[in-house]
Chain A
């Protein structure tokens, strides 16, 4: 039987929740993100509603630019807790229809409904039912793409936003993809787009027509991947139980920082927090990455890999410290710092070691801190080196 995949994407999710909670915002441009501080603000736009998009504002745009475009918009600070509440509600609606749900982010998921057609009706009917359920349960709207493959479902959900529903039937995939601009391809970023356009490939259809051998010769494995997608070949299944690949935390300073002490303190604090999340989730990883963004937005990552698995805050911090000290910021100030641990393995299948006990002192310390923090809150106990808060920061975490 052919596959039927739904991609469901909430419309302007954060902004829509703000409008819902604050009726006075409705009909006005709403921008959720950092504080614009009369145009001097830092940080970026998280989400904005469709009113704000009319002014050319979009996600990931620096908040100062958004302010320039529309100073009269309503600027709201993100309330993640509230958004997570909604996210949970929406995801539980998905599970009412099928167990085959692959959550992609807080407001987006793939659903494989191939097995429920006899029970629930035609795919388009299922999509409509899900949209209705979301609307009646939360008051929010979602856009849905229906297709036989993931990649096409994802494009389809984006075509008729907001409150959209686009169905691409089996056999019509190539026809559907043909006129679309190459930038709609999953994974084609700005650089690849420029490269492809330079070769005269500006639509997905044109990419699909190039002989397979030519594309492999010119662009290798990545090229073949894009070519396959362009030809409607995408055998990726909806993956239930999303596998965690990395744990990361980053922070943007309110002001670019020059002071080494503050930077070092941030590295220790980020390392501590990443390590705590790892232990809580029972992950350990081999690769430690430090991300540094300088005042001019140039961004660098430096990584170190071990052969054994690590979750100790002390090791993560000391590696990041070394990575930082070997990095030459050429006198520029630091705007953002991030710490990530990847190449993860969970607890089962754990290689036991002879000398595991020698690390026990450090593990004991981490364990006690974890216990207190889990019970009384993160700010109740800290390592002495982190007590001296020099500067406030915006912390953003991610488990991907």
Chain B
């Protein structure tokens, strides 16, 4: 294998892949990326055995070949180098050299055969989504996934493809987001899949590097146990999480009849300030709404801190007091695009429905948040 390439091009390609490399692994080969040169095309591949990313970059190839090289060392030397042409060659056996005008760097390498190869199964269906829209669907949901290994299916976003819509759902058991897009239809297949958070973060990172994502199509191809996202020169393969996603429809309340409308920025700012004085374990803040006023308060019995603010709201139901985790409230509000936000409430122990005051065209965004039980005092 022998090729020349500018440092910038190689670095950009490697950046797309390096995020998948596991930080702690008992399988040393996974700390490598596979370089595979065919003609003028260099394919860079990384994997953690669950997810695999490969990206193609253009190089001046002189001799086809392939090998696996340590991702971190390669990444670090590229970071330290100025923009320069690099001459990269696989020496006989197990070394790869990177030559610049003044320097020569040598890394250990391993034969391609040592690198795990992903066996692609047949796909059951395909569809195209514009990268901007896909990024929006992921961004609006992925923040609400669980990070608790207790339930693996919740450490993921649930994608539901159907002839009418694409629906994405995420929840950690305490809050839930559901976003539906009626533009994205898959008339040929109907399938529900659970896609791990890590794969989605990598997709977001890749889309961020695209200049005009709305103009780029991502091709999704879904099989029994995997999903592939194919965009421009990059292909992201991920195993799906096995198991049953919880029946989230059942927890969406239908009898929340107390409607509260608040200015999003004002509420968010007040919650941020009041949260500073909440208990650091529960982050509990209270909403006490009565007529056109809502009092947001917190109290940390342990350290004696407390805070409260009163803001104006639109509300005409019976007065109500309910407590939430302030961090969750701030998170939800961040993902509301409109100036006003609606809360549909029932009582102090039931989920609240949170929605933007007006929905975006061909979209339906809904969030749920569970309260914290009010201490009896």
Decide yes or no whether B303 CB sits under 8 A from chain A: no
A345 to B176, CA, bound (A): 24
* A355 and B375 contact, Cβ closer than 8 Å, known pairs A306-B148, A306-B149, A307-B147: no
* A350 and B174 contact, Cβ closer than 8 Å, known pairs A307-B148, A355-B251: no
In the bound complex, residues from chain B placing their C-beta under 8 Å from that of A310 are 150
Check A315 against B370 for contact (C-beta < 8 Å): no
Decide yes or no whether A308 CB sits under 8 A from chain B: yes
Decide yes or no whether A2 CB sits under 8 A from chain B: no
A310 to B284, CA, bound (A): 19
Decide yes or no whether B46 CB sits under 8 A from chain A: no
Decide yes or no whether B376 CB sits under 8 A from chain A: yes
Decide yes or no whether B371 CB sits under 8 A from chain A: yes
Which B residues between 136 and 170 are near A, CB-CB below 8 angstroms?
A: 146-150
Check B246 against A352 for contact (C-beta < 8 Å): no
Q: Mark B365-377 against chain A: 1 for CB-CB distance below 8 A, else 0.
A: 0001011111110
Check A354 against B351 for contact (C-beta < 8 Å): yes
| A354 in complex: contacting residue of B325, B368, B372, B376, CB < 8 Å | B368
A352 to B149, CA, bound (A): 19
Q: Mark A157-197 against chain B: 1 for CB-CB distance below 8 A, else 0.
A: 00000000000000000000000000000000000000000
Check B351 against A350 for contact (C-beta < 8 Å): no
In the bound complex, residues from chain B placing their C-beta under 8 Å from that of A358 are 246
Check B279 against A351 for contact (C-beta < 8 Å): no
Interface of B is mostly: loop
In the bound complex, residues from chain B placing their C-beta under 8 Å from that of A345 are 281-282
In the bound complex, residues from chain B placing their C-beta under 8 Å from that of A349 are 279, 281-282, 284, 372-373, 375
A315 to B251, CA, bound (A): 24
A350 to B171, CA, bound (A): 18
In the bound complex, residues from chain A placing their C-beta under 8 Å from that of B368 are 354
Which A residues between 331 and 384 are near B, CB-CB below 8 angstroms?
A: 345, 347-356, 358
A345 to B283, CA, bound (A): 13
Residue of A nearest to B147 (CB): A307
Shortest CB distance B303–A (Å): 13
A-B interface contact total, Cβ < 8 Å: 56
| B148 in complex: contacting residue of A308, A347, A348, A351, CB < 8 Å | A308
A203 to B372, CA, bound (A): 51
A365 to B358, CA, bound (A): 46
Shortest CB distance B104–A (Å): 43
Shortest CB distance B366–A (Å): 14
Check B279 against A353 for contact (C-beta < 8 Å): no
In the bound complex, residues from chain B placing their C-beta under 8 Å from that of A353 are 173-174, 370
A307 to B151, CA, bound (A): 11
| A352 in complex: contacting residue of B248, B281, B370, CB < 8 Å | B370
Check A351 against B246 for contact (C-beta < 8 Å): no
* A354 and B174 contact, Cβ closer than 8 Å, known pairs A306-B149, A308-B150: yes
Decide yes or no whether B9 CB sits under 8 A from chain A: no
* A315 and B150 contact, Cβ closer than 8 Å, known pairs A353-B174, A354-B173: yes
Decide yes or no whether B269 CB sits under 8 A from chain A: no
In the bound complex, residues from chain B placing their C-beta under 8 Å from that of A355 are 173, 246, 251
Shortest CB distance B341–A (Å): 20
Q: Mark A299-319 against chain B: 1 for CB-CB distance below 8 A, else 0.
A: 000000011101000010000
A345 to B147, CA, bound (A): 19
A349 to B280, CA, bound (A): 12
Interface centre among A347, A350, A356, A358 (most CB of B within 10 A): A350
A251 to B284, CA, bound (A): 38
In the bound complex, residues from chain A placing their C-beta under 8 Å from that of B373 are 347-350, 352
A354 to B147, CA, bound (A): 16
* A351 and B174 contact, Cβ closer than 8 Å, known pairs A345-B281, A345-B282, A358-B246: yes
Interface centre among A345, A355, A358 (most CB of B within 10 A): A355
Check B251 against A354 for contact (C-beta < 8 Å): yes
A355 to B150, CA, bound (A): 13
A306 to B376, CA, bound (A): 27
Residue of A nearest to B301 (CB): A349
Shortest CB distance B367–A (Å): 12
In the bound complex, residues from chain A placing their C-beta under 8 Å from that of B374 are 348
* A354 and B148 contact, Cβ closer than 8 Å, known pairs A345-B282, A349-B279: no
Check A350 against B173 for contact (C-beta < 8 Å): no
In the bound complex, residues from chain B placing their C-beta under 8 Å from that of A307 are 146-148
Decide yes or no whether B120 CB sits under 8 A from chain A: no
| B150 in complex: contacting residue of A306, A348, A350, CB < 8 Å | A306
A345 to B325, CA, bound (A): 15
Shortest CB distance A244–B (Å): 14
Which B residues between 255 and 278 are near A, CB-CB below 8 angstroms?
A: none
Check B372 against A351 for contact (C-beta < 8 Å): yes
Residue of A nearest to B323 (CB): A349
A355 to B173, CA, bound (A): 6
Check B371 against A354 for contact (C-beta < 8 Å): no
Decide yes or no whether B317 CB sits under 8 A from chain A: no
In the bound complex, residues from chain A placing their C-beta under 8 Å from that of B371 are 352
A308 to B248, CA, bound (A): 19
Decide yes or no whether B77 CB sits under 8 A from chain A: no
Check B375 against A308 for contact (C-beta < 8 Å): no
Decide yes or no whether B81 CB sits under 8 A from chain A: no
In the bound complex, residues from chain B placing their C-beta under 8 Å from that of A306 are 148-150
Shortest CB distance A391–B (Å): 32
Decide yes or no whether B349 CB sits under 8 A from chain A: yes
A-B pairs, top 5 by smallest CB distance, nearest first, are: A348-B375, A354-B251, A349-B282, A353-B173, A307-B148
| Residues in chain A within 8 A of chain B (CB atoms) | 306-308, 310, 315, 345, 347-356, 358
Show 14 residue pairs from A and B whose CB-CB distance is below 8 angstroms, ordered by the A residue.
Answer: A306-B149, A306-B150, A307-B148, A308-B173, A310-B150, A348-B374, A348-B376, A352-B349, A352-B372, A352-B373, A354-B171, A354-B251, A354-B351, A354-B370
Q: What would 12 more interface pairs be, CB under 8 Å, given A308-B173, A353-B174, A354-B173? A: A306-B149, A307-B146, A308-B150, A348-B375, A349-B279, A350-B372, A353-B370, A354-B171, A354-B246, A354-B368, A355-B251, A358-B246
